[in-house]
């Protein structure tokens, strides 16, 4: 066991509930244990989000991760930069999956893309 990371790619909407914005989930990538990396540093230095997402049941609001920590909100360009930096020195097989997914988005087709970190 150890600290693992899921990344939810969301479109942050203007719809609010209890003072938080709804993040419509587009996809999720589970990176499992990423260890010490530029990506890990980015997570730790990212702000808490003012969003919530719904769990897989479509009804449960997720405001915190399974440790009770607030979800972190990460900007696309910063995550892409961190992943590229990590891949120079770390051949972790899951980094290219998240990077490829993020790079596949056409920003002009989306309003307000964000990445939420969920620890588990």
Which residues are 53's β-sheet partners?
62
| Domain housing 67 | 5-88+109-114
Going by C-alpha positions, the residue among 115, 117, 48 that lies closest to residue 75 is 115
Answer whether residue 49 is part of any domain. yes
Confidence (pTM): 0.95
Q: pLDDT above 90 covers what percent of the chain?
A: 92
Instruction: Judge whether 103 lies within some domain.
Output: no
- Is 62 within the bounds of a domain? yes
18 within some domain: yes
What residues does 30 pair with on adjacent strands? 6
Is 102 inside a domain boundary? Answer: no
Summarised one tens digit per residue, pLDDT across range 19-71 is 999 999 999 999 999 988 899 999 999 999 999 999 999 999 999 999 999 99
The 3-class SS string of 6-70 reads: EEEEEEEEEEEECCEEEEEEEEEEEEECCCCCHHHHHHHCCCECCEEEECCCCCCEECECCCCCE
pLDDT tens profile 16-33: 999 999 999 999 999 999
| Overall number of domains in the chain | 1
Residue 78 belongs to a domain: yes
Q: Is the pLDDT of residue 1 over 60?
A: no
Determine, yes or no, domain membership for 32.
yes
Of the candidates 73, 76, 83, 4, the one whose C-alpha atom is nearest the C-alpha of residue 38 is 83
Whether residue 27 is contained in a domain is answered as yes
CA angle 113, 17, 101 (to 5 degrees): 20
């Amino acid at each position: 066991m150890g600290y693992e990371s899921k990344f939810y790619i969301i479109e942050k909407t203007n719809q609010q509930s209890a003072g938080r914005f709804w993040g419509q989930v587009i996809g999720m990538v589970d990176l499992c244990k990423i260890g010490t990396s530029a990506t890990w540093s980015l997570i730790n230095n990212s702000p808490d989000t003012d969003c919530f997402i719904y769990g897989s049941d479509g009804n449960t609001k997720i405001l915190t991760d399974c440790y009770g920590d607030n979800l972190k909100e990460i900007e696309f360009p910063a995550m892409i930069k961190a992943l590229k930096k990590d891949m120079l020195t770390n051949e972790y097989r899951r980094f290219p999956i998240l990077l490829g997914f993020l790079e596949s988005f056409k920003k002009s087709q989306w309003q307000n893309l964000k990445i939420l970190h969920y620890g588990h």
